[in-house]
Structure 1
Amino acid sequence: MIVTKNTAYALMVVAVAMWATSGPFAELAYREDATVIQVATLAFLIGTLILLMLVAVFDRKSLRIKKKDILPFIGFSLIAGVLLNLAWFGAIDETSVAITVVLNYSYPSMVTVASVFLFKERFTAQKALALPLTFAGCVLVAGGGHINEGLSFNWFGIGLGLASAIATAVYYLWGKKFEETYSPNTIVLYLFAISTVFLVLVANPIELAKTSLSGSAWFWILNVAFWSGVVGFVPSMVALKHLEASKASIVASVEPVFAVALAFVLLAEGISLVQVAGVGMVVLGVVLLRARISSAAVAAPI
């Protein structure tokens, strides 16, 4: 199959749109009485099984890792898989899809600052402009829902959202290191598989086996696993083979816009003009930053 640049861009947009479905679908599962741990664990378990089948059929060489890298992969998965997804889905439950996705998009700022110290990257004027822009945007989105009453915050939910951002930053920074040795397929497959094991342990295997969810709850959990996990993952991998990482990551910067729009349509989540301005500031800041941190880009998780 010949993939042109235009096709690659289209595939990246598809991937971003699919990743943006994770929050709204999770919220719909919560409304059917699914818990945070059930959504996180079952979505990862289903996603792992599907990815394992795809990689086993189409890219068998990506099934292997070196013994010396088992412990690093476990550490990577605990932060970038278990912590990220529990914090992500927990923040959605505590706040809203719009607030969570924008708080999560503070991670490029974290990656930028960490890269100055870890990879000796230059702290440019562009970065100096983007960092406060992103921070201010997050503040407006998190607290500007009822601006006429003043800024108000759900600190626990915001803490979870920022924890997901920290875990995402670790994902990019550590993933950058793994990409020196392994393909994106290997990295994401082992991230999913190892994270699933620990999520099952956290959820308690006995209690998980007793899970009794409605058909509607299962439907939305399957949607989280399939659309944001698999259908988001596969086209992004194809696109990244044919695009410069910086260009692909700039396309990915529209994910908050997709997520907020989906939350408005599917969940009737309201958003104030102040929050709209905050979303715009975050997206602008991310575009400024991601052109500089592109070398750290790997495939995004659920």
Structure 2
Amino acid sequence: MKKFIFLFPVISGILWGSAGIFVRTLTKMNMNSYTIVESRVILAVLILGAGIYLYDKSLLKIKLKDVWVFLGGGILGIFGLNVCYNIAIEELTLSLSAVLLSLSPLFVLILAAIIFREKITSRKILCMIMAIVGCILASGVLESSSGMEWSVYGIAVGTMGAIFYAMYSIFTKLAIQRGYGPLTITFYCLLTVFIVLIPLTDWNVIASSISSSPINMSIFMVVHALCTSVLPYVMYTVSLDYIEAGKASILASGEPIAAMIFGIIFYSEIPTLISLTGLFLVICAITLLSAQPEKKYKEINVNS
């Protein structure tokens, strides 16, 4: 497990990057952003809940004094991230929204240094810069800046999305320190999101979409839940039990790159040389971060 644990956040980033495929399809069915998120979260809660109950129902037990950790991970993490990201997409271009989201490792490193006293090393800084620059290049921002749609509000909300993304790492790390496993953490964080979204969801649209093609839509929504909620959040949370929060966030920062690759496969969105250069930088950052022992690099302790 430890030998391959660095792949977990990387795979999580790839799976999160696939969200655009499902979102584009469901948007055509007149689902708003809240309804799209709820359609996958409700299935994710059911799948995880049933799986945990059959595997070891004791994992569903939590202490009342720790409820705030799961509320934080759900509301300030998953829910806040999805809402801000959806607003940013409405205000900005998709590429700029993805770039702002890719800033999350910066906030994770800062928050983890303050809360967990994780050391900020020269290698982490280098990998963070490489990953962010790579995401910027791959997004196409530099190639379309002349006609880019943007607003101060959109940039502010998009940046908040990155902060909420970072908060999920922090709250799950706190839950791990309290002895909870990845399945328990992911389940209760998603359950929180499900409850919060109940009054914001257009249930009639979900019902009509399923009734129009019961078998195909049911399979589509289950795959949507597995690829964008269950598997990535479980794998990312598992990695936090072995990897520092800042490092895990950097390893998962290839989400915009994954989105670019899915765009090539499903929508014939051919990347430019600059975009491919960005992809190469992110791969280099991930390789450098996971291949070399931390102790060989100079440490910068921000708490001293």
TM-score by length of 2: 0.73
- Which has the larger displacement, 52-61 or 269-278? 269-278
Inter-partner Cα distance in structure 1 for 2:172 and 2:103 = 18
Instruction: Tell me the alpha carbon deviations over residues 48-82 of structure 1, each in whole angstroms, 9 at most, x when there is no partner.
Output: 11111111111212101101112332233111121
Match of 2:186 in 1: 188
How many Å apart are 1:110 and its aligned residue?
A: 1.2
Give the 5 Å matches for 1:131-280. 131-140=128-137, 141=139, 143-146=141-144, 150=146, 152-155=148-151, 158-181=155-178, 182-203=180-201, 207-209=202-204, 211=206, 212-213=208-209, 215=213, 220-232=220-232, 236=235, 240=239, 244-245=242-243, 252=252, 254-280=254-280
Match of 2:302?
Answer: none
Map Cα deviations across residues 229-273 of structure 1 (whole Å, 9 max, x no partner): 234456x389859x9537987764554433321122213335443
**Residue equivalent to 1:36:** 33
- Greater Cα shift, 166-175 or 259-268: 259-268
SS at match of 1:65: coil
Aligned residues: 282
Q: Secondary structure, in 3 states, of the residue corresponding to 1:224?
A: helix
Contact 1:29 1:221 in 2 (8 A): no
CA distance 1:287–1:166, change in 2 (3 Å): farther
Contact 1:15 1:232 in 2 (8 A): yes
Structure 2 residue ranges without an equivalent (≥5)? 295-304
Per mean C-alpha deviation after superposition, the further-off stretch among 183-192 and 87-96 is 87-96
Q: Distance in 2 between matches of 1:223 and 1:92?
A: 23
CA distance in 1, matches of 2:120, 2:9: 28
Determine whether 1:65 maps to 2:62: yes
Deviations 1:97-129 (A, max 9, x none): 665445423211111122333333333333443
The answer to whether the 8 Å contact 1:16/1:232 transfers is yes
Asked if the contact 2:108–2:166 (Cα under 8 Å) also holds between the matched residues in 1, the reply is: yes
CA RMSD of aligned residues (A): 3.8
Give the letter for the 2:191 counterpart.
A
1:202-251 Cα deviation digits (max 9, x unpaired): 33xxx4356533547776544321223234456x389859x953798776
**Cα deviation per residue 1:22-42 (whole Å; 9 max; x = unaligned)?**
232212222332211110111
Greater shift in the superposed pair: 120-129 or 182-191: 120-129
Deviation per CA, 1:120-149: give whole Å up to 9, x if none: 3333333443444444445443623436xx
Aligned residue type for 1:269: E
TM-score (norm 1): 0.74
Native 8 Å contact 2:135 2:254 kept in 1:
no
Secondary structure at 2:265 match in 1: helix
Contact 2:44–2:229 (CA under 8 A) maintained in structure 1? yes
